[in-house]
Structure 1
Amino acid sequence: MTQTCRDRPGRVEQAVTGVDVMSGRELATALRALKDRSGLSYRVLGQRIFIGGSTLHRYCTGRGVPGGYDIVLRFAKECGAEPAELNDLLRYWEAATEQAADSGLPAAVSAVPAGAESWAQAPLPVAREMFGVTMNSFSGVMPSFRVGAVRLWDSETRWSQLEPARGVFDFSTLDRLLDGAERQGLPVTFVFGGTPGWAAPDGRKAAYREDCRAAPPDDLADWDAFVHAVVRHAGHRIDAYEPWITANHGHHYNGSVETLVEMTRRASRIIRQYRPDATVVCPSVTDLWDDASHAYLLRFAEAGAYQYCDAAAVNLFQRRITDPPETMLEIVRKVERTFQLAGYHLPLWSTGTTQMIQLNDPLDPDTAANHAVRFYLTGLYSRIVERMYFYAWGNSKIPLVVQAEGQAPTKAGRHVERLQRWLTHAEIRSCGRGAEIGLPENVWQCEALTPGLVRIRWTLSGTATVPAGAGAYRVEHLDGTARETGPEDTVRITEEPLLVRYR
């Protein structure tokens, strides 16, 4: 099995093996002590965290270093590690991978996205809210294909539109959207953003047609009053609030971190006053392929923002629109490490994409459909992303369209609905890829109970042929077609996910 080192952005991903440096020995010694303390064998521990026992033995004897810290974290938690021990392990692991990379050790190029380690856990329900969309519409019409949640942004619900003058509110558009979502039983996330010109007359103008600023308001009392007004007016129709949009992008916010933390604190207090059961999602951080964005995320965390939130918003997207969605896992693991450094362990909500998305060429219908489905599967694979909001519903001018308002769902939209039907009332228990789970290297898989066992399989690229496996009786495709199969039959796996049912 080849593990990948993703410690240094921009470097070729490398397999770290044969490490014989001091920090490597420190990591191995700490892992071995935890293993011995647990009283469990390498085989049993490997089964619990979905890694081979021989691979764990290499890590514990210093003959290899895990390619991702999340492997170390899962192992340590299974062995009952204390928080202080987790901090030590992170320090040992970072030093070991750093020195391994600097030592010029033999390396194998990996075509698999960094952070794509396999995992297994006690079965967890797949929440319908996982399958969210951001609404680029203000009509109140909802998607005509199945979705699990909606998020309001670019939907004519900016602060500058809802309160065009101090104390003068126009909630007609918001009401249309909330009423439409309520009719379909869809939970709503409301996103704050777009300071009205009257609240920050000297602030930097935002790129919207109305009088809108990227600056925070000059007087935070205006902010308090607006949050009060929205939460009181919406009542039970809004389930979650995101106190600001893309905190680290000057197009939306160019104020100080400290001011945004204070705005988040105030918003959280007001929201909980009226809706203690609502979810507060800390302002999103975008462009997470860049180290500067992780520095901002760490600064935002160290300033105390996340103590006021129930979840953290991040914008997950590929470097290039044509890249496989699974490459987003590299961002997820980097974010996980950043939060580990900051001492926070919040669920992640993926709430946006790159600001430049509309400048990309459209994907062909088959690729678009495959990527849309795998966008959500990547969230499930990550284990720590609680919701995925596809950007966006209603918009026809982006490379991947699930449904333009007033038109029928595209192939992408129909296939996303089929994926949700596959996972209705499902409990996911493992995800993995390649040799780690006995499959060809380009094959990915998530396994769930529905209550019968199902496996969703797809390739990162290309095709592969695999045995259906013991108990297999049916293969289903995203277009609704299906065929009977048997344990001895083979199944051709492609970039379009398929489902195999087992007795």
Structure 2
Amino acid sequence: MAPSGALAELLQHLRERSGRTYTSLERRTRISRSSLNRYCLGSAVPPNYGTVEKIATACGASRGELDTLYRLWAEAQVEPATHEHAAAAGPPTADRPPSAETSLSAEEPPPADEPPSADEPPPADEPPVADEPPVADERPVADERPVAPRSPVGPARAPEPEARPPARRKRLPYEILSVVAGLVALAIAGAGLNRLWVDSRADPGEEPEARAAQQVGGPEWSQPPEPVPKGFFGVTINAATGAMPTFPTGATRFWDSETRWSQVEPSRDRFDWSNLDRLVIGARTAGLPALYTFGATPAWASPAGPRSPYPEGPRASAPDSTADWDAFVRAVVTRYRGRIAAYELWAFAPSPYFFTGSATTLADMARRAGRIVHETDPRATVVCPGIGDLWEPASQRFLRDFASAGGYENCDVAAVKLHQREPGDPPESMVELTRVIDRTFHEAGVSLPVWNTGAAYRIATEKPLTEELAGDYAVRFYLVGLYARYDRMYFYNWGGTKLPIVLQAVDGPPTRAALMVRELERWLDGARITSCGHGPAVNLPPRAWQCRFQMPGGPAGSHLGTIAWTEAGAAAIPLDEHAVRVRNLGGGIVDAAAGGVLRLTEQPVLIEYDTAG
């Protein structure tokens, strides 16, 4: 069978095995049903491997199957046929699994008329990738060899070409040789041009957004070794007792800690500093830099404003008088000068629960407050209001409008709220959101360090995670921050117990998740980060991620290390010849065998090398 036919049969097999309809795949991949139909039936070859990988990954393909798909797709590019042919059935072979059908079955009508399946949930409720079948126990066939990851000291060596016996020569007349040489040259040139044309063209049947992006090898980013930012591992305190985490952390944020504006100044010029005093003393005793977050306008400052969901009845609007705002900011910064390290100028915007005013109004409040903080406590860091719900275009417009109105003029740091698009999505899904945020900042002309200061409002209503997932997700929350190159990540929250992930209840012991975060902090104490990347671009399986570091210690004073994990399931990767040990988040250490294979899972591990950093 021609490679294009085998490619189509394998895609069809994967689709059938996954149980996905064309409608479900269209939603997952953003490739039109008509195109999916042609690719799975063999009447068209996908224009690039990115499209093949997108379909196969959505169907839960294993690493070996992805390798086979790439080989078939590459071979199909130089077929003499036009690729517009019907899929032909044939007996199963070693590299082609059997297919239950070679045309649309009676149970599944043609894609153009395919109604959504009765038992098929809408996109928001589709099972997250984390629930797809793992690939740990799948074995590559004999002729499939895993690709070694890049060496920490350079690119992976290319495999040695297989030795072939010399071909027997047969002398031909000069005229025949000339003709053959010309035909071969034309064929090679034609094949090369055709392949370039096929790789770069767009499939007319696909929507523009479905076309795969340019395939680029290498890490997402790389840089000279830079220290992991001091205070990177932050937590938001959800208690007013003054108690602090009993496991190591890097910074604290005061919100939902009974320190809202409406509580500190319950009536004009009458202050209750008791809660905030306890928290500031607690943070200083623990040696933790404190971030105070402004928010919750008192009812007396905006009587007609919409109510915010807090018992003392604050408003989600801006104060009616900027003089009241200026006076409160000045009172707080004056009292805690030199004791509070940073100020976030509003908790969350835009939001019906926290701020319903315009971006222009908030920008004016931020400019005024930033100026007061810098004048009153020059050493304090001014963090602009936390912009949230940035999956939504309306919030992206709010950020751009806030920037255009001069909101970032007096700020040292920009703040955002990172969260998964849907509850239960793996933490790595936030990487897409960080790219949206980066693009929005670029469009707005903003270039400031970024802190993640919270989550989605809905977090308090999300279901608790299992013990295993809670630990894995807590650690990967911070790793996503490193991947996004954020300077600080505040986990929401510490002290609360009605959340998907609990780190520690007040007066209780740290949870397993907190202890795993503690181990990650130990790994990175004194480390310098050099790069992050994921998937085939860095010679890893499609759902595998890594960040690389210059680690302290060793005969040369430093050595190289890689933290690696998967976002779903498991995958086997060969260990580099310089790997000496693998650490897990339970504190265990395993010696690495040269040429051995490491089973990556959703729990990150640290691979250390004997190579000097």
TM-score class normalised by the smaller sequence: 0.7 to 0.9
Shift of 1:211: 3.3
Match of 2:393 in 1: 291
Partner of 1:343: 445
Q: Is the 8 A contact 1:471 1:486 kept in 2?
A: no
Map 1:328-407; keep pairs closer than 5 Å. 328-383=430-485, 385-407=486-508
Tell me whether 1:481 sits opposite 2:583 in the alignment.
no
Unmatched 5+ stretches in structure 2: 1-26, 32-45, 51-150, 157-192, 552-557
Task: Give the deviation of 1:106 after TM superposition.
Answer: 6.3
- Which one of the candidate residues 426, 429, 434 is aligned to 2:530? 429
The one of 572, 576, 595 equivalent to 1:469 is 576
**In structure 1, which of residues 154, 164, 172 is the aligned counterpart of residue 256 of structure 2?**
154
Contact 2:261–2:296 (Cα < 8 Å) also in 1 = yes
Counterpart residue identity of residue 597, structure 2:
T
Tell me, in whole angstroms, the C-alpha distance in 1 between the residues paired with 2:246 and 2:444: 41
The aligned residue for residue 12 of structure 1 is: 29
- 1:51 Cα shift? 11
TM-aligned CA distance change 1:100 to 1:184, over 3 Å? farther
Is 1:242 the counterpart of 2:349? The answer is no
Aligned CA distance change for structure 1 residues 204 and 117 (closer, same or farther; 3 Å): farther
Residues 376-409 of structure 1 deviation map (CA, whole Å, 9 limit, x = unaligned): 00010112x1111110000000111111112111
Aligned match for 1:316, one of 404, 414, 418: 418
2:477 alignment partner, SS class: helix
Structure 1's consecutive aligned runs of 4 or more residues displaced over 4 angstroms after TM superposition are: 13-19, 61-65, 99-108
Instruction: Give per-residue Cα distances to partners, 1:473-498, cap 9 Å, x unaligned.
Output: 11111011112123222221100001
**Superposition deviation, residue 422 in structure 1:** 0.2
- Which amino acid in structure 2 is aligned with residue 12 of structure 1? T
Q: Which residue of 2 aligns with 1:274?
A: 376
Residue identity opposite 1:435 in structure 2: P
Where 1:151 maps in the other structure, the secondary structure is strand
Match of 1:184 among 286, 291, 309: 286
Q: Match for 1:419: what amino acid?
A: L
Could you list the per-position Cα deviations for residues 308-348 of structure 1 after superposition, in whole angstroms to 9, with x for gaps in the alignment?
A: 21111111001223111010011110111111111111222
1:445 to 528, 546, 561: 546
Q: Percent identity?
A: 45
User: Residues 141, 289 of structure 1: CA spacing in aligned structure 2 closer, same or farther, 3 A cutoff?
Assistant: same
Q: Does the CA contact (< 8 Å) of 1:17 and 1:105 recur in 2? A: no
1:144 aligns with 2:161: no
Which residue in 2 is equivalent to 1:495? 602
CA distance change for structure 1 residues 498 and 198 in 2, over 3 Å: closer, same or farther? same
User: Whole-Å Cα distance in 1 between the matches of residues 30 and 385 of structure 2?
Assistant: 31
Question: Which residue of the partner structure matches residue 302 of structure 2?
Answer: 200
Structure 1: which amino acid aligns with 2:563? I
From the superposition, tell whether residues 105 and 316 of structure 1 become closer, same or farther in structure 2 (CA, over 3 Å). closer
Segment drifting more, 354-363 vs 370-379: 354-363
Q: 1:307 deviation in Å?
A: 1.7
Higher-Rg structure is 2
Alpha-carbon deviation of 1:100?
11
Quick one: which amino acid aligns to residue 388 of structure 1? M
1:258-317 CA distance string (max 9 Å, x none): 221111011001100122222111111111111111111111111111122111111100
Which residue of the partner structure matches residue 164 of structure 1? Answer: 266
Provide the secondary structure at the position in 2 that maps to 1:428: strand
Cα distance in 1 between the residues matched to 2:374 and 2:205: 48
Aligned to 2:159: none
Structure 2 residue aligned with 1:5: none
Residue 146 of structure 1: how far off its partner (Å) = 1.2
Amino acid corresponding to residue 437 of structure 1 in structure 2: V
Please give the residue correspondences for 1:66-77 in structure 2 after superposition, counting only pairs within 5 Å: none
Partner SS state of residue 280, structure 1: strand
1: distance between equivalents of 2:302 and 2:432? 38
- Asked whether the equivalents of residues 193 and 252 of structure 1 are also in contact (C-alpha less than 8 Å), the reply is yes
Deviation for aligned residue 1:101: 6.5
Q: CA deviation at 1:143?
A: 0.4
Structure 1 100/247 Cα, relative in aligned 2: closer, same or farther at 3 Å? farther
Count of aligned residue pairs for this structure pair: 422
Aligned CA distance change for structure 1 residues 403 and 165 (closer, same or farther; 3 Å): same
* Partner SS for 2:457: coil
Q: CA deviation at 1:432?
A: 1.1
Distance 1:475 1:265 in 2: 49
Tell me the residue number matched to 2:358. 256
TM-superposition CA deviations, 1:119-151 (whole Å, max 9, x none): 211111102311111111110000011110111
Residue 140 to residue 293, structure 1, CA distance change in 2 (3 Å): same
Instruction: Give SS of 1:230's match.
Output: helix
Whether 2:457 is the aligned partner of 1:457: answer no
> CA-to-partner distance for each residue in 1:55-88, whole Å, 9 max, x for gaps?
xxx9xx99979xxxxxxxxxxxxxxxxxxxxxxx
Structure 1 unpaired stretches of 5+: 1-9, 20-46, 53-57, 66-95, 111-115
| TM-score between both structures, scaled by the size of structure 2 | 0.65
| 1:356 match: secondary structure | helix
Code of the aligned partner of 2:527: A
